[in-house]
Structure formats: C-alpha cells, structure tokens
Amino acid sequence: MKTGIFICHCGHNIKHTIDVKKLSQYFKKYPNVTVSEDYPFVCSEPGQDMIRESIEKQGLDRVLIASCTPSLHGDLFKDLLKKSDLNPFLLRRVSIREHCSWVGDDLEINTEKARRLILAGLYSAAHYVPLEEKVVEVTKSALIVGGGVSGLSAAAFLSKMGMQVYLVEKEAELGGHVRALKNIWPARKDGKEIIDEMVAELAGRKNVEIFTSTTISAFEGFFGNYEVTLATPEGEKKMTAGGVIVAIGFAPFDPIVKPELNYGKDERIITTLEFEERADTLQLPENPRIAILHCVGSRDEQIGKPYCSRVCCINALRVGEAVKNKCKDSYVESFYMDVRAHPRGGEEYFEDTQEKGVLFTRANVAEITPTPAGLVIRGEDTLFGEFFEREFDLVVLSIGMSPPIDNKLMATLFKITLDKDKFFLEAHIKLRPFDTAVKGIFIAGSCSGPKDVEESINHGRASAVKLFGFLNLGYAFVDPFISSVDPKRCSGCRMCETACVAKAIKFDEAKRVVHVEEAACMGCGLCNSTCPSSAISLKGSIDMMIDDEISALTEAI
Amino acid sequence: MEEKTNKNPEIIGFACSFCTFKASEMAGSLRMKYPDGVKLVQVPCSSRVDPAFVIKAILEGADGAFVAGCHPGDCHFIKGNYYTRRKIAALKEMFDAFSMKDKLKLFWVSAAEARRFVEKVTGMYDEIKEKKNAGKKA
C-alpha cells in the first residue's frame, strides 16, 4: 500500500497552532506511507499539481489530505483523484482545521491531537476500496415552493432555460407579502406592479404550471427524481421533480407578543404593513403627531429575536417620508436604536428623510398608553439619558421579520435544518449560501433570514442558477455508500429487515438469507450496527475502518 | 513508584455527519474552544454506531464516549436516531452494572447548534475530569 499524506498549512490557519513540519516528518517513517508533505495551500493550483505529480510518480493508491473539514473542497479533491486515474473513494480527508487548530491554542497539544487525527485517518484509509458511483437520470423539472418574489424570480429563470416548473403557493394569489407593499424603495414601484410583471412573464410560458391554494402533502425520493404529492383544490396531484427550491418567505412579527405596546387594543397603534394598506383611509387630525417605533420584533433578546430584520429601518423611513409628503406640517418622530439603512443608497435615503423633517430620537420605548386624547409614549432617551413622555395621534410599529409559520413542517418535509432563530440554515454561510444539506434542495428568499425585495429576487435567481446547473446535466452521481450482505455470514435472523427504514432489505425465502436492494438503500448503516453476525457492512464506513479509527484515536495501536 | 497516567480525559465522540459533525465544523469556524481530549469519529448516521464501538473505545482506554445525532424527528434517514436512542439506553444499563454510567452519553445536536455542541462536550469532559482526578493528590 502506498499512501500519500498531504498536510495543509492553510496559510496561517493551521500552521499557526499546529507544527505541520514535525507532523509531515513524523509520518514519513510509517511503513505504508510513501509521501508525506506539508504545503501552504493544498487546495491551490500548485498544491493540486503537487498531489497529482506524487500520485503519478510514486504510484500512490491512497491519498490522505489533512486540511479543512471534509465538506469543504470535497468535490475539488475528488476530481483531482479522478484526473489522476485514481478512484475518488480512495481519498481520505482529515479535518485538522475546524476540529483541531481552531479549537485549541496550544501548539504542542494541538500537534498531538492532529497527529492522532491523521493517524486515525491513515488506519481507516487502509481499509478503503475503490467504489463506483452510480449514475441516475435526472428529471429536468423543478418544484418551487412559495410564490413570493424569490419563488417567482426562480421560476422565471428556470422556465426561461427550458425546465419544467411547478410553482406551488399556499395562498390563493401569487406575490406574497410584496403584493401589499406600496412605493417600494428604491425602485419607487408598487409591489403589485412588480408581481404582475413577474407573473405576466410566467403566464406566457408553456412549461410553467402554477398551483395556488395548494399545499404539499407528501415528498419523498432522491435527487433527480423527487416524488411530490400536492393537495390542490381540485384534488391530489402527483409529479416528479428533479430538484426543489423552497422559498416560503417570512411571517411578519406579531407585536401582540409585546403587551407593553398595547397593539391590537387601540386602533391608533398599527404596524408598517397595516400602514401600507390604510395610509389613505386613516382618520387623522389636520396636522397629525405620528410616532414610528423601530426594531419591533428585532434585536430583542427578551422575546428571542436577537437578529436585525434588515428591512424595517427602510420601512420606517418610508412611513416617515409618506406622512411628510402628504402633510408637510405633521410632527413625525422616529424612535430608533440604530438606523441600519442596509442596502446601497440607504444612508442617503436616511438623510433625505431627516431633511424632510422626520425627527429621529435614539430611545428605548418602555410603553405606549392609549388615552382618549392621544397615545402616550414613555421611554428613555438613550443619548441624553433622560426619561420622556410624549403624546401622539398615531403610532406605527416598524415590525421585523419572523421565521415563516410553516418552517418546522417544511424543515421536516425537505430535511432542512433550522438555525437558532428558526430560519432555514444554509449548507455554508459563505461558500454555499443557497444549498441545504440535501442535494438538489435549495432555499431562496427570506426563509433563510431577513432579506429585502431586491435581495430576495437575487437570492431566488441565484438558487435557480445553482439548481439549473445540477438539472441541466441530465444525470447525477449517487454516492456508492450502500450496504452489502455477506451471504455466508448471514444467519437469516431478519433483524435488519425490521430495522431498515428504507425497506431496502429483502429476505430470500429459498436461501434463507437477506439481500440489499441497492436502489432503495439510503446508506445510514443502521442494518450494519443491528446485524448480530456482522454479515452486513456499509460501504465506505465498514466496521474495520471505525474500529481502527477508535484504536488510533485512543493510541491503542 | 508514581503511576504515570494522563490527568486529562480522552473522549471519543461518534458524530452524525448531517448534524453533530456539521455543528462541530461550525464550532471550529466560529473559533469556539473545547478541550483537545474530545476527538470525533464521523459516522453517516448515529444509528451506524454499533454499541461495540463504544465498548471498544472504553476498553482501549478512552475515559468516555458519546454518541451524538440529530434531534428526534430531524433524522436525515427518517428515524435512525430513534434506534440509536434505544441502543444507547440498553448500553447504558449495561454500563451502569459496571458503575461506568457516566462514561457514556447520548445527545442531540443539530447542525446549527455549535454552541450546544461545545457546551455538551465541555460539560461531559469536565464531569469526567473531576471524577477521574477525585481522590488523587494534585
């Protein structure tokens, strides 16, 4: 066996707390190790060339790369092995950055931990065998869940590229929350106009099917051929989708959670969304006194919403501007924590609004008390450090974004993880911001965290591009990590058959042994750990690998 | 002669690649610190963990072992973690008979819960360390 060990410095990230030189020297003495090198950036072009050259010159049959976590650059190194005519499943990645150099500060301790981790990888890799990836055909169709701006923009892109698109919307009308918005900054267009434009684009296309007032009743299968069952008003509908984009948006924060604001008890206290609707019909005195409260349902640890909702400052500015435009002599006061006018041009917009006469007071509002004469706001001015009490005719709460109502249901259906704020979690915040842990399932729009209209449209389109890349190939590789049965050892006790969730294990009555239906096997390894006679093993994670890994980690070998 | 043993515990963790391993990656990326004695073995699903692995880890000198998977209902393989829960419960009974109950832990950590991962492993580590060094002179 000829193993090549390549230890990455990752610039200073690994080298800083792990003695990589010592490690590469140390592993040179191991009998099965042919090459042991350390390199500043193994993932770089020259780094890859070095590995390739070693494989070709030394005839390596195992490659161990000790660097970042296996999920990063996984495909990159796999491709590298493929290019060098080596089976990609003979690659072992050892995470010495996320699991070692970044979690400890002591050079000596970290070097020792890294040594053991690499050793475990080395012993485990000794049991690796070449595996063949299975190729499955991919249906060129996409299911898009949610007909808001991000869903619509994803649908527009995919259908333009010739994919069959199934757009599912829970409500009777497409457009989501954006439809209700007026004079959206910075485009200065009504939401309805934007939505109508997008819907019109889709309406002319034959490869788009839109289901409104529809929910998803069942979802199963694997990438390339997901089986979807929809509950439409006309009854149940079944279809096959190659991939999914989940764009279920957000739920507006409900200020009832904060009883001190008295929202819902007095009709003069409204949210920004209600203001959009009722702006023209509000009964106000001639020169109204209006208060705008920022950060309602955002940056508030007490109610479990520590995040910034990103859009509500601009919304608050829009309210102030709308009031000032309509009634120049009104008194408009904004109570803010910090004005975070996020998008490009937001800061200028903030200044414009100030120039129009909206007053900004940095304050913590403690309570709103409705009286017949007006709404009394009590709070603390955080710049002066003084308490204040002022009376207004109308209070507009600039509400933030809460996770969508269906988040848990959708997370279970599509196997998406929720983050700490209960939004959908992306596979990697920077490198894979549209992907989920499951292949072919993407997230778009504000269901993965607060986003404004522009960002949501971009996010939707970006997810669509990523999905298109997968679908357009027409085929996909499936990981060959499936179970196999050794019929000689199988005693026919059928324990695995009862345990298997995927129902991939079938009993052969004639031979009294079980066998695995490869297409159905999900690769969890439950049967492997259930089998009392060790007759089943999960490819890519066989008992011997894990046994040796444990031994190496505990220094028993 | 003074017995030469390591005062710091060694803990082997079996981490599901879909949740706990992801959480540990995130913990690393966020530069959260946890003891170096905690070392992970990546498994495709917590149900892949044969109780024999846990016993092997303990027999070969680990001071503790934990199995960590997705929260109930979140299993990528639908209900693998329910099987894990049963297996580990049975194994714990056995460990209890040998007064080693606290050497084994099972916990759920989702991919987003880096902090929870760190809290869990550090908690376990500290507990074991305290027991290990109890009665010993410093």
Per-residue pLDDT tens over the stretch A416-443: 888 889 999 888 888 889 998 788 899 9
Amino acid at A412: T
Question: A265 by DSSP, 3-state: which?
Answer: coil
Cα–chain center distance at A182: 29
Q: ipTM for the complex?
A: 0.94
Contact B55, A529 (CB under 8 A): no
B60 and A543: CB-CB below 8 Å?
A: no
User: Could you tell me if A464 and A510 lie in one domain?
Assistant: no
Contact B108, B70 (CB under 8 A): yes
Kindly state the tokens that stand for B114: 């880096």
- The predicted pLDDT at position A366 comes to 94
- The predicted pLDDT at position A135 comes to 86
Kindly state the tokens that stand for B66: 């934990």
B36 and A103: CB-CB below 8 Å?
A: yes
Contacts of A71 in chain B (CB under 8 A): 22, 25
Which among B73, B80, B12 has a CA at the least distance from the CA of A528?
A: B80
Contacts of A547 in chain B (CB under 8 A): 53, 56
Strands A164-168 and A91-95: unpaired
List of chain A residues with pLDDT < 70: 557
pTM of the model: 0.79
User: Could you tell me if A416 and A386 lie in one domain?
Assistant: no
How many domains does chain B divide into?
1
Contacts of A501 in chain B (CB under 8 A): 77-80
Q: How far apart are the first and last CA of chain B?
A: 16
Q: What Å distances lie between residue A343 and A350, A451, A454, CA to CA?
A: 11, 10, 9
DSSP assignment, residue A393?
A: S
Residue A499, min C-alpha distance to chain B (Å): 8
Contacts of B31 in chain A (CB under 8 A): 102-103
Identify whether B102 is part of a domain: yes
Q: Which CATH number goes with the domain that contains A361?
A: 3.50.50.60
For residue B46, the enclosing domain spans 14-130
Residue A482, min C-alpha distance to chain B (Å): 11
Residue A167, min C-alpha distance to chain B (Å): 25
Residue in B12, B33, B83 closest to A103 by CB: B33
Identify whether B1 is part of a domain: no
Mutate to test the interface with B, among A414, A417, A419, A448 (most CBs of B within 10 A): A417
Which among A307, A262, A269 has a CA at the least distance from the CA of A401?
A: A307
Last residue of a domain, one of A132, A166, A191: A132
**Residue A180 phi/psi, 5° resolution?**
-85, -15
A98 and B25: CB-CB below 8 Å?
A: yes
Mutate to test the interface with A, among B76, B87, B103, B118 (most CBs of A within 10 A): B76
A420 and B61: CB-CB below 8 Å?
A: no
What mean pLDDT comes out for the span B73-90? 89
User: Could you tell me if A186 and A229 lie in one domain?
Assistant: yes
Identify whether A145 is part of a domain: yes
Using a 10 angstrom Cβ sphere, with 0-12 exposed, 13-18 middle and 19 or more buried, the burial of residue A350 is buried
User: Is pLDDT of B1 > 50?
Assistant: no
Identify whether B7 is part of a domain: no
A553 and B112: CB-CB below 8 Å?
A: no
Identify whether A305 is part of a domain: yes
Identify whether B138 is part of a domain: no
Identify whether A90 is part of a domain: yes
Last residue of a domain, one of A81, A107, A132: A132
Identify whether A548 is part of a domain: no
A553 and B76: CB-CB below 8 Å?
A: no
User: Could you tell me if A348 and A392 lie in one domain?
Assistant: yes
Amino acid at B135: G
Contacts of A543 in chain B (CB under 8 A): 50
User: Could you tell me if A70 and A188 lie in one domain?
Assistant: no
Identify whether B114 is part of a domain: yes
Distance CA A249, CA A272 (A): 17
User: Could you tell me if A290 and A390 lie in one domain?
Assistant: yes
Would you tell me which residues 44-83 of chain B have a C-beta closer than 8 angstroms to some C-beta of chain A? Answer: 44-45, 47-51, 53, 56-57, 60-62, 73-74, 76-80, 83
- The predicted pLDDT at position B2 comes to 43
Residue in B36, B40, B83 closest to A526 by CB: B83
Identify whether A370 is part of a domain: yes
User: Could you tell me if A259 and A327 lie in one domain?
Assistant: yes
- The length of chain B is 138
Residue in A99, A526, A553 closest to B28 by CB: A99
What is the CA angle B17-A228-A404, rounded to 5?
70
How many domains does chain A divide into?
4
Contacts across the A-B interface (CB distance below 8 Å): 139
Res. B136 pLDDT band, cuts 50 70 90: low
For residue A516, the enclosing domain spans 483-538
Kindly state the tokens that stand for A356: 């129009």
DSSP assignment, residue A417?
A: P
Nearest CA in chain A to B53: A547
Contacts of A106 in chain B (CB under 8 A): 36
A103 and B53: CB-CB below 8 Å?
A: no
B128 in contact with chain A, both atoms CB, cutoff 8 A:
no
Nearest CA in chain A to B81: A526
Would you tell me which residues 96-125 of chain B have a C-beta closer than 8 angstroms to some C-beta of chain A? Answer: 110-113
Strands A3-8 and A62-67: parallel
User: Could you tell me if A345 and A461 lie in one domain?
Assistant: no
B22 in contact with chain A, both atoms CB, cutoff 8 A:
yes
Contacts of A430 in chain B (CB under 8 A): none
B79 and A550: CB-CB below 8 Å?
A: no
Please state the three-class secondary structure of A64-96 as a single string: EEEECCCCCCHHHHHHHHHHCCCCHHHEEEEEC
Contacts of A526 in chain B (CB under 8 A): 45, 47-48, 77, 80, 83
User: Can you tell me which residue has the tokens 């890294």?
Assistant: A114
**Residue A451 phi/psi, 5° resolution?**
-145, 150
User: Could you tell me if A115 and A150 lie in one domain?
Assistant: no
Amino acid at B15: A
Is the N-terminal amide bond of A370 cis, ω within 30° of 0?
A: no
Identify whether B117 is part of a domain: yes
Identify whether A543 is part of a domain: no
Last residue of a domain, one of A97, A132, A167: A132
Identify whether B77 is part of a domain: yes
Residue B135, min C-alpha distance to chain A (Å): 24
Kindly state the tokens that stand for B36: 């170096």
Question: B27 by DSSP, 3-state: which?
Answer: helix
B18 in contact with chain A, both atoms CB, cutoff 8 A:
yes
User: Could you tell me if A412 and A394 lie in one domain?
Assistant: no
What is the CA angle B32-B34-B39, rounded to 5?
120
